[in-house]
Amino acid sequence: MVSSLSVIVFFIFLLGGVLIIAASRSGFSGEMMRLSKHNTKLQNKSKPVEEVNLFVTQRSDFLAVLLDTAGLENQYDKMKMYWGLSIFAGGLILGGVCAYFCSLLTPVGFLIGLPIGGYGFIFVIKRIAKTRQAKMTAQLPQILETMVSSLRAGSPVIEVFKVLSETAPEPIRGEFKRGLVSLQLGKPFRESLKEMSTRIRTPDFKLLITAIFISQDVGGNLADVVAEIAEAIRERFKLRDYMDSLTSQGKATAVFIGSLPYLITLLTCTTAPDYIKPFMNNFFCRILLVAFVIWELIGFYILIKMTTFEV
């Protein structure tokens, strides 16, 4: 009974498949398919054409802006992964240190190490960005001299950008090349300059952009304005070098005073380990040692800030 029922069901499905194939090969089905395609084309033509933006919208989150200033915007996904790994590694390292001194403080050390690891990664990226920004700031007087020569020769601003994208030194040449590509693709001139100012975060470059905008709005001799900006930058560099020479002794003193407690502790542990072993084996003394280290780092940071001047 079951076998005969299965045979009947099989023949029913077979007959249905044959009928479907025959219907699909008939002229009626072909006419229906052509009519359906025609209706689809009419619907696509009636839809309003959306404006396509050729430019990729820049990321505006904290990490993206920081990577832009460091010249690492092409490695956003990789750096985001490294940031997460550094957060986890900071928790593991500090948790392991706390486990070595006192196992009860391991969870606390792990939780405190998470933001420390994340800030450590951001600190490294900020140092890279600061070094890159310092290089571009040092290159600005040379760039402005080239701009003055080109402007006095009668070249437009876009042509000046083209010259700088070919002759300027790195890393500022890459920024002008990127701005030139944006202009050639049709992006507005003011928007391209504003994007450059977000990547070149120096007051001198912002002053240059403001001068260009004012020159476009009200007119005037842009070459003379750029020449005055270049002279002001040179004078500021001279003042900065003079201030560095005056504060060099204070910075050396801050480094010496800040590192002296650690050097004395290391020397004591090396020459007389039995003298400091009771202190290291006591639970409360270990907590005090961690507090002293943190307090000493805060004092060292204050000393460095007192001898650092932004010019």
33-46 pLDDT per residue, tens = 565 665 666 665 55
Structure confidence by residue, pLDDT tens digits, 267-303: 887 888 788 777 777 777 778 877 888 888 888 888 7
Cβ pair 158, 179 in contact under 8 A: no
Report the chain's terminal Cα–Cα distance, integer Å: 99
How many Å apart are CA 191 and CA 193, to the nearest integer? 5
Structural domain boundaries in the chain: 243-311
Sorting pLDDT into bands at 50, 70 and 90, what band is 32? low
Distance in angstroms (rounded) separating the CA atoms of residues 89 and 84: 9
Cα distances (angstroms) measured from residue 139 to each of 12, 144, 165, 290:
83, 9, 13, 44
Q: Is the pLDDT of residue 87 over 80?
A: yes
Query: What are the tokens at 143?
Result: 């760039």
Query: Residue 250: pLDDT above 60?
Result: yes
Angle 207-210-211 from CA coordinates, rounded to 5° = 85
Alpha-carbon gap, residue 306 to 308, rounded angstroms: 6
Confidence of residue 15 (pLDDT cuts 50, 70, 90): low
pLDDT at position 161 is 80
Determine how many CB atoms are found less than 10 A away from the CB of residue 175. 21
Encoded tokens for 42: 């009419």
